[in-house]
Amino acid sequence: MNDLAELVSQRTDYPWVFLATAAGQKDAVVHTMAALMLDSIEDPSMPYLPSSLREFVEALAAWDVRLLAELAKGWTPPSQLHPTLGWFTLNVWYAALRHIKDFNVVTLEECKACPMRELDQQAELLWRSSPAEILDWTEIDDKLKFKISAARGEYRLNERLLQESDILNMSRSQLSVLLRNSDRLSENAKNKLVEISSEAVKQYCGSDLWTKKYDYRQKISPTEISMGRVCSLIELCDEIGVNIRSEMTDAFRIRFASVDDPTEIAPLIYTLLGRWYLH
């Protein structure tokens, strides 16, 4: 991965700073950490939109999640966020929570006390307390009939979405549910997931990665093989101990010169260089 990190570290101006931070470029990391200090986040003259703050979080987490956890200790606690004035701080908490959960920076109770419902939803996904029952691929539909409550509805895994040919149709929310429950999959189910994911990555690498052109004669449609879904599948395989990054990394190196907007490929860089988990 050293040559990939060197490739994306060549520029540190905004918004290329996101990629350079994920690669650990010193000046970029300093810039990102300064942007995520509490004084910067809550400064009325903050030059960044909430979406940019989330990118800073993801980039720093890809490089060194410990730095992110240390910064989070200085943020306004979720329970003390103002319902309207705390929007910027909420965004950094929301993006960071999945990365820093195991560092004991914040608790489920503190997240549930947040006056903004969005953080509570994220915490419910991360602090799942149901037993880690082992499931085979053919049993998933029968056993995973749980629902995860959210302000905007409920996510459910069902038979159609869990067919081998249809798993790529999952929404990002549904893929997130599967990620949170990956410890419940049997070896057979994990092997099947890796097989499907590896094929998806190969097909995506064979498409025009940056202009998103795709051969409609292929079985899988352009909407199914999107960058977001590929990142999701790579992370799912990561979670069950299988690395399928290499082909995607090679394809990225070849096509990097054609990138005009680094924010369009930032999720892929976070995934290839670090551990980037979905909402």
Confidence of residue 55 (pLDDT cuts 50, 70, 90): very high
71 or 160: which leads in pLDDT = 71
What is the pTM (predicted TM-score) of this model? 0.77
Q: Which residue has the tokens 């400064």?
A: 43
Q: Which helix (H) or strand (E) covers residue 155, if one does?
A: strand 153-155
Burial label, 6 (beta-carbon count in 10 A; 0-12, 13-18, 19+) = exposed
- Domain locations in the chain as residue ranges: 1-127, 132-279
pLDDT for the residue 216: 36
Confidence of residue 258 (pLDDT cuts 50, 70, 90): confident
In single-letter form, the type of residue at position 112 comes to: K
pLDDT for the residue 135: 56
Residue 107 has which token pair?
């608790």
Q: What gap in Å lies between CA 55 and CA 134, rounded to an integer? A: 35
Model confidence over 97-118: pLDDT tens digits?
Answer: 989 998 999 999 999 999 887 7
Model confidence over 150-205: pLDDT tens digits?
Answer: 333 344 444 444 454 456 666 666 676 677 667 777 788 788 788 888 888 887 77
All residues at 6 or more sequence positions from 205 whose CB lies less than 8 Å from its CB, including other chains: 247, 248, 250, 251
Let me know: does 227 contact 261? Beta carbons within 8 Å: no
